[in-house]
Structure 1
């Protein structure tokens, strides 16, 4: 295979090591690495993984909070053709057990937690993040040869639990580079760009900025998890340009810095409130000026369309990235005319490679030569796009996606529950909250607190119902709940795109 046209993530790092020898690539607590230092560590880590038997297509799993080691593992996987999956460390044991059995990783790098220790299986090499990881890396022989196929998957992110279980979306080198290039353009990243990973790296929104910063030759600053005071400290100390923040997080940071203890002026961010705007530098880039608007999903690398590419647009999802095509198709695969609603379908450089180990689902998602997103949209008269909402119901609580089928499955595993349906209800702080409508088995008893606790034992905490109502029956459309009727009767609303 000719390598003259390739550009893998490992190639990006190697080029920065030559072209930006004095630039700080990562900051993580006491760890500060220039691009040459990061490249040297990644080269040894790749050798250590290869010696462990990790090769083309094999999976490496990260189970922990944010760390520079996530980026190191991704770049080391890039050198040897492997795939890194940073998984949600907040998952319950049942969810983690599913990920481990589904992904079958050869190496797991983890941070101690009761949930992980409860399900830790045999068959993989387990490395504790910290001293054990550092010894493993140091023992690796520098691997100078590079994997040459930039179309191959390198990153897996679990998403899309519409059938009750999530699927790992596989993103290739070329797709990640293409998406990063589009984001770099819309966000107008310049030399010195510094990104604070205040959101989780298992979330595409954080990862896409981390990789765009890498492509731009900027600095990635890692913090384990969101803490408003620590965000303020790091922005001040590292002069961060961008951070992963949205509404409630911005409010928390503004409150933490109410006395002006920290200088946040380096943060070139979206306007939010007078208090916030006075603390930061309100950015005039297309990304920030448009309130970070657009439409995206994990399967497209983050953003498919940007409102920043369509100032004054009629459609609040804006226009597609320059590296993709978007069509709105009906059920037969025919493009619908402007003004009519169709499924958002896409193809292009930043589209994912399919889901890991889901051949039938992949065939369905890629039918007709297009990625079928499962979401509905409308083309406006000016050619811009409006996102209508998922064709299957999804709840957006804060910045987290909650799929009703997943919560319903957990509820129905309780011995007292005969049937259940889940809707989203408006929430002033989080946009939506999860509400469960539950039918109990004859002669059985369970209260709201018991059912909420049961779900919390099986799923991540943010997925548990905040509200529970009991009913005699769940209205149905065929075999699935009639969500429109449930919304009307139980106060549902505020869905994405609504």
Structure 2
């Protein structure tokens, strides 16, 4: 790619330095950086990283809470063509040791914690370890504030985020500069972000939900306010002091802010956010952008930079996940890779500007995930007749009954709409006539009652009749593996088996 057509995150920073010399880029505690000051720090940091052997493709790992240093490390890696990973510092020592071994970083920037120190002792100490704080500042300050001006392709990976352990271990999804820029532009459009936008990063920056808004604010040239963790009174104080426009918040966090501000000690009116409750709505400015007016969200995952579809592009539509980002394509495909007609369930597959580069050091998985030229999300969905998308649930496995494909996630979704059901899982059991038949394992709500016949009839009214469970068993709980049912345990306990390909 010609340099004339290049646009990396480092390039965006360089433009902001010139175009917004007086603008505030980052606020973290008492620290306030203008765009030129951030640019100079990033250049020094790039020099320090390069002196410790960080070249194109090398990995840099952050193990710590939210900090402005997460952003400047990402930008320094962008200028070097390196890969930056902010890992979940809340993990156990064994989990962190896996990340260290898997990623094999050249440099680790860390905050003191028992788990991090224990993990460090479990791996071969090949990396340069720099403790965040005074050591970090002196390490970076020793380098010159000169742009390395490396020949970096915007299509090479720059950000690694560890995501779901769908096969028993987490994988680092790699996102390029161009993918992050593309996703930011789509989010800017749906959120209707304007000059002066200020985002409070009070959610974890190792999570794509916080990172995507941080980077969209960066792309716009707005102000990023960082706080180490969510603390309700401190978040209220920052919203008032910095006149924050948007923050990473969801239901329980909002409720905590309402409680912290019940005496109206803080002015939260600058916050333009989604309606939540009468008390909340009185404190803030209810926003009418498509993002907020639709209730926020859609369908997304780390591998697409955050959001693949937006509710804001499908308001009033039948689909529960809206329509695709303007910079992506979505197809609902069957097991053979053929597109299924509207109304039929298949795997959500995508390609386009914000789709990731693959997983770090997982060639076989990457080949499977990109079969046929599409990113296979591993999630089930349905395109409705009006073109909107409905997210069904994780694909995980399939039941084959009388030559019909039945996905447990779809049946589970239908089961959970029954007013008496608290939780449910579906397995396939051997059937002499049909090969397999679906069996529902159901947990009833406290004090509720329902018969197997009532449950089966309910599902029949929600989805195609052939997908309804043939058997229903009641249980006290559904065993889980993470957030999803532990299907292996369910099979063993309730007689599952005869799956396709087994």
Change (3 A) 1:14 1:479: farther
**How much does 1:363 deviate?**
0.1
Partner of 1:142, secondary structure, is: coil
Aligned in 2, Cα 1:427/1:25: closer, same or farther, shift over 3 Å? farther
Tell me the residue number matched to 1:493: none
Which one of the candidate residues 287, 290, 310 is aligned to 2:314?
A: 310
User: 1:278 Cα deviation (Å)?
Assistant: 0.5
Structure 2 equivalent of residue 76 of structure 1: 76
Say yes or no: does 1:321 pair with 2:325. yes
Q: Aligned residue for 2:275?
A: 271
Q: How does 1:229-308 map to 2 (within 5 A)?
A: 229-308=233-312
DSSP 3-state at the match of 1:360: helix
Which residue, out of 326, 337, 341, partners 1:337?
341
C-alpha contact 2:347 2:377 (8 A) present in aligned 1: yes
**Correspondence for 2:140:** 137
Contact 2:328 2:350 (C-alpha < 8 Å) held by counterparts: yes
The one of 465, 470, 478 equivalent to 2:497 is 478
Deviations 1:157-181 (A, max 9, x none): 0002011110000000000000000
Per-residue CA deviations over 1:302-340 (Å, capped at 9, x if unaligned) read 000001012211111111000000000000000000010
Q: Which residue does 2:221 correspond to in 1?
A: 217
Q: CA deviation at 1:293?
A: 2.7
- Per chain length, whose mean CA-contact separation is higher, i.e. which structure has more relative contact order (CA < 8 Å, sep 6+)? 1
Q: What is the aligned partner in structure 1 of residue 393 from structure 2?
A: 389
Aligned to 2:17: 17
Match of 1:148 among 136, 152, 173: 152
Alignment of 1:439-478 (within 5 A): 474-475=493-494, 477-478=496-497
1:109 deviates by 0.4
Verify the 8 A CA contact 2:93 2:115 in the aligned structure 1.
yes
Q: What secondary structure is seen at the aligned counterpart in 1 of 2:10?
A: helix
Per-residue CA deviations over 1:284-306 (Å, capped at 9, x if unaligned) read 00000001031000000000000
Number of equivalent positions: 422
Q: How many angstroms apart in 1 are the aligned matches of 2:233 and 2:396? A: 38
What SS does structure 2 have at the residue aligned with 1:57? Answer: coil
Write the deviation string for residues 379-428 of structure 1: whole angstroms up to 9, x where unpaired. Answer: 11111111111112899xxxxxxxxxxxxxxxxxxxxxxxxxxx998999
- In 2: Cα distance, 1:146 partner to 1:51 partner: 14
1:37 aligns to 2:37 (yes or no): yes
Return the offset for 1:478: 3.4
Q: 1:476 to 1:151 in 2, by over 3 A?
A: farther
Aligned twin of 1:91: 91
1:4, distance to aligned residue in structure 2 (A): 1.0
Q: Which runs of 5+ in 2 are unaligned?
A: 398-408, 413-440, 447-475
Q: Which has the larger radius of gyration?
A: 2
1:352 aligned to which of 344, 352, 356: 356
CA contact (8 A) 2:490 2:496 kept: no
CA offset at residue 2 of structure 1?
1.5
Name which of structure 1's ranges 79-88 and 144-153 shifts more when overlaid on structure 2. 144-153
Task: Point out where structure 1 has 5 or more consecutive residues left out of the alignment.
Answer: 396-422, 429-433, 439-454, 456-462, 481-498
Evaluate the alpha carbon distance shift between residue 437 and residue 150 of structure 1 in structure 2; reply closer, same or farther with a 3 A threshold.
Answer: closer
Q: Residues 201 and 424 from structure 1, CA distance in 2 versus in 1: closer, same or farther, beyond 3 angstroms?
A: farther
CA distance in 1, matches of 2:479, 2:357: 37
Question: What secondary structure, in the 3-state scheme, does the structure 1 residue paired with 2:224 have?
Answer: strand
Query: d(CA) in 1 for partners of 2:442 and 2:376?
Result: 24
Output the CA distance in 2 between the equivalents of 1:188 and 1:426: 43
Trace 1:367-406 onto structure 2 (pairs within 5 A).
Answer: 367-392=371-396
1:63 matches 2:63: yes
How high is the TM-score relative to the length of structure 1? 0.81
Q: Following the alignment from structure 1 to structure 2, what is the Cα–Cα distance between the partners of residues 426 and 77?
A: 51
Distance 2:368 2:146 in 1: 39
- The one-character-per-residue Cα deviations of 1:440-475 (angstroms, maximum 9, x if unpaired) are xxxxxxxxxxxxxxx9xxxxxxx699xxxx999523
How has the CA–CA distance of structure 1 residues 45 and 472 changed in structure 2, closer, same or farther, with 3 Å as cutoff?
Answer: closer
Give the secondary structure class of the aligned counterpart of 1:271. coil
In structure 2, relative to structure 1, the CA distance for the partners of 1:152 and 1:275 (3 Å cut) is same
- Kept in 2, the 8 Å contact 1:199–1:244? The answer is yes
SS at match of 2:387: coil
Contact 1:293 1:316 in 2 (8 A): no
C-alpha distance 472-11 of structure 1, shift in aligned 2 (>3 A):
closer
CA distance in 1, matches of 2:118, 2:241: 38
1:50 aligned to 2:71? no
SS in structure 2 opposite 1:258? coil
Rounded Cα–Cα distance in structure 1 between residues aligned with 2:154 and 2:495: 46
